[in-house]
Structure 1
Amino acid sequence: MRIVRVKSLAAGVLIAAALAFAGCDDSSKASATDSGTQAAVSGNASAMADKPELPPRPEYVVNVKVETITPASMRDILVLPGETEALDDVSLAAERAGVVEWVGVTEGQMVKEGQQIVRINLSALQAALDRAKANLKLADEQLRRRRDLYARKVLSREELEQSENEQTVALANLREAEVNYNYGITSSTVSGVVNKVYVDPGEYVAEGATVADIVNVGTLRINFNVPEADVRFLSEGQQADVRVDTYPDRKWTGTVDFVAWKADLATRTFQVRLVVDNRDGRIRPGMIARAAFVRRSLSDAVTVPLFCVQDKGGERIVFVEKNGVAQARTVELGVIEGDRVQVLKGLAAGDRLIVAGHTEVEDGTKVNVR
């Protein structure tokens, strides 16, 4: 009985020792784990303390240039193309049929009004003219003698009247011969330049055939077709600037000398004609010209450069600067003159319009005015 108790006591001592040993082992592991965690945290904190802080992100600012809106005068201009023509463009025709005996001009030559161009059958006409002059001279002499005889009552009244009739007939024949002679000479009816000669000496021409073209280029006419909505702004005596496509750097001044009262039924436009001084002969008939007609003048108009206007979704937008911030303005446009356009709504005098950098901003973008 005592032996059993001793063994039981020994077993209990061993179990207690084992539990104690196990408890010590778990405590060691827990203590090691806690130590490792604390070391890791301490290491991370040290690393974070060593890393430098990032600078704050810079604010987005756009450099711009501005223009203060100032009311200015403006012209509503209508630009139309037109075709030039000579003020006088004459085709000279033969007034009688016959052989061309003489041509007195060449193409490109300047001629004056009344200058002879062509002579036709002039030799025969000259002979007829000389004969008529001789007959008239004879009739005049005979009438003079018979008047003297009648005064001395040697000649009857009937014989005197016969001589008077003969003189009248001779005078009529002379006039007819002079007219026929003049018909044989084709002269220029205007001053200008010979554009074309159609005949040569020795050539037979029919009555009414064209022998030469004479154009007066010292003064030119330019014809324009003006829409019915704009013709009411134009009147005779009004001046307009004229440019010719051939001379882009030159400008002429034309004067309106005709405004049609009736529209062309095909185009529903009205003919308007300008007269231009062309003494230097630079403009040639048939060239294309463009005239700037002033329909009306505007005063105190709000204008902006055309390049500042942007199209965003069908709206016309400009940007203004206010307190360092870009503001979008929806504008309504009016008259265009050159590179500027009138603003009817959306801007006012004193606004600071952004004219450089406007394509890089949006509504609310901060800007720096240079």
Structure 2
Amino acid sequence: MQRLIFQICAALIVVSIAVGLTACSNGVASEKAENVPAAKEYVVKVKVETLTPAAITDTIMLPGETEAMFDVSLAAEQEGLIEWVGVTEGDSVKANEQVVRINLEALQAAKDRAEANLTMKKHQLKRRRKLYEGNVLSREELEQSETEFTVAKTKLREAEVQFEHGIVVSPVSGVVNKVNVDPGEYVSQGNSIATIVNVDQIKITVNVPEMDIRYLSKGQTAPVMFDAYPNEKWSGVVDFVAWKADSATRTFPVRIIVKNTDGRIRPGMIARASFVRRSLRDIVSVPLFSVIDKGGERIAFIEKDGVAEARTVTLGVIDGDRVQILAGLNVGENLIIAGQREVEDGVKVDVR
């Protein structure tokens, strides 16, 4: 009997311990559940720009090569011995300044003979006219003397021209870029003597596509940059716009003139000329970086009531770091310009 009572008491103790442990476990679990924080809502910090009516300039930049305003190759107008060379490479020359003398002593002698012959024929004609007036000389003999005088005058002029051709002069002011002869050298007619360049002004020829030629006209200004001076600009003026396109490239040559008073621009440099095609006003323009390319689709995000809204946009003219928006955005909307790559359509945003 006592053994039965002991077993019953032991069972009651075990049950009590189990109930106590269960209660403690439930209490800890409840306490932990109360301390777990709720999941935070996903919010992206962004910066916005309110779209306002803007102006933008539609420009086109085209490359071209610089040339001297005058690039003259002097040639020998007659054959002969080079007697004198008066310039060297790099020398400055003025218009009509002597550069080279060819066979000048022989030409001077021929000129002197022609002058002497003309003087003799002139005196002879004067005497024969007096003889003719005194009926001593026939009309035929007088006319022969007149003819000889005319021939002598012509030969003198020929000798003078030959003498002038023996002196090679520069037709323009400029700089001697190349001398091709030396004293004592024999040259034939047409041989190259020297090259004179004038770089006070530089001309640049660019090839303009047929769709853009309508925007250009003579006298229009055109900013010009040179690869040798990347941080500087020169002001150019359109001097010529071709009326006919190049049959091979279907482009129109356009010549621009740039002043080069300091001589820093040299023929052969690469230039880049900008032309204003049109100026647009009261348009929507945004920073280029605010537009995202997603699989060929151009997307921009605006902020509306604290939420990001995706817009498919159509781009227009690009001017520097801004681009015209033809469709997709409107004046007055808040364009997201920072954080736009971290948002999606419908995501909440915090404007900072």
TM-score by length of structure 2 reads 0.90
What SS class does the counterpart of residue 196 from structure 1 fall into? Answer: strand
Q: Larger deviation: 142-151 or 98-107?
A: 142-151
Residue 224 of structure 1 is matched in structure 2 by: 206
- Which residues of 2 match residues 105-254 of structure 1 at below 5 A? 105-147=87-129, 153=134, 156=137, 158=139, 160-254=142-236
The root-mean-square deviation of aligned C-alpha atoms, in Å, is: 2.4
Q: Is the 2:128–2:137 Cα contact (8 Å) retained in structure 1?
A: no
Residue 264 of structure 2 is matched in structure 1 by: 282
Tell me the alpha carbon deviations over residues 251-273 of structure 1, each in whole angstroms, 9 at most, x when there is no partner: 12222233333333332322222
Tell me the alpha carbon deviations over residues 242-298 of structure 1, each in whole angstroms, 9 at most, x when there is no partner: 111111112122222333333333323222222222232222222111111222221
Q: Larger deviation: 248-257 or 326-335?
A: 248-257
Tell me the alpha carbon deviations over residues 174-224 of structure 1, each in whole angstroms, 9 at most, x when there is no partner: 101101101111111222221111000000111111111112222222122
What SS class does the counterpart of residue 265 from structure 2 fall into? Answer: coil
CA distance in 1, matches of 2:194, 2:224: 31
CA distance in 2, matches of 1:155, 1:199: 59
Q: Say yes or no: does 1:292 pair with 2:274.
A: yes
Residue 15 of structure 2 is matched in structure 1 by: 34
Match for 1:302 among 263, 271, 284? 284
- 1:40 corresponds to which letter in structure 2? L
Q: Larger deviation: 324-333 or 165-174?
A: 165-174
CA distance in 2, matches of 1:205, 1:230: 50
CA distance in 1, matches of 2:31, 2:51: 56
Q: Larger deviation: 346-355 or 273-282?
A: 273-282
Residue 357 of structure 1 is matched in structure 2 by: 339
CA distance in 2, matches of 1:186, 1:65: 73
Measured after TM superposition, the shift of residue 150 of structure 1 is 5.8
Tell me the alpha carbon deviations over residues 212-239 of structure 1, each in whole angstroms, 9 at most, x when there is no partner: 1112222222122222222233233332
* Bigger CA radius of gyration: 1
Measured after TM superposition, the shift of residue 332 of structure 1 is 0.6
Measured after TM superposition, the shift of residue 45 of structure 1 is 4.6
Measured after TM superposition, the shift of residue 323 of structure 1 is 2.2
Tell me the alpha carbon deviations over residues 38-69 of structure 1, each in whole angstroms, 9 at most, x when there is no partner: 21133225545765713444433333222111
What SS class does the counterpart of residue 182 from structure 1 fall into? Answer: helix
Q: Say yes or no: does 1:79 pair with 2:61.
A: yes
Residue 10 of structure 1 is matched in structure 2 by: none
Unaligned stretches of 5+ residues in structure 2: none
- 1:210 corresponds to which letter in structure 2? S
What SS class does the counterpart of residue 308 from structure 2 fall into? Answer: strand
Match for 1:67 among 20, 44, 49? 49
CA distance in 2, matches of 1:63, 1:148: 118
User: Percent of counterpart pairs with the same letter?
Assistant: 60
What SS class does the counterpart of residue 353 from structure 1 fall into? Answer: strand
Unaligned stretches of 5+ residues in structure 1: 1-17
Q: Larger deviation: 26-35 or 307-316?
A: 26-35
Measured after TM superposition, the shift of residue 126 of structure 1 is 0.7
CA distance in 1, matches of 2:37, 2:302: 32
What SS class does the counterpart of residue 175 from structure 1 fall into? Answer: helix
Q: Larger deviation: 325-334 or 194-203?
A: 325-334
What SS class does the counterpart of residue 204 from structure 2 fall into? Answer: strand
Matched length: 350
Summarize the Cα distance change of 1:352–1:131 in structure 2 as closer, same or farther, 3 Å threshold: same
Q: Larger deviation: 295-304 or 356-365?
A: 356-365
Match for 1:101 among 80, 83, 99? 83
- 2:281 corresponds to which letter in structure 1? S
Q: Is the 2:200–2:260 Cα contact (8 Å) retained in structure 1?
A: yes
Measured after TM superposition, the shift of residue 142 of structure 1 is 4.0
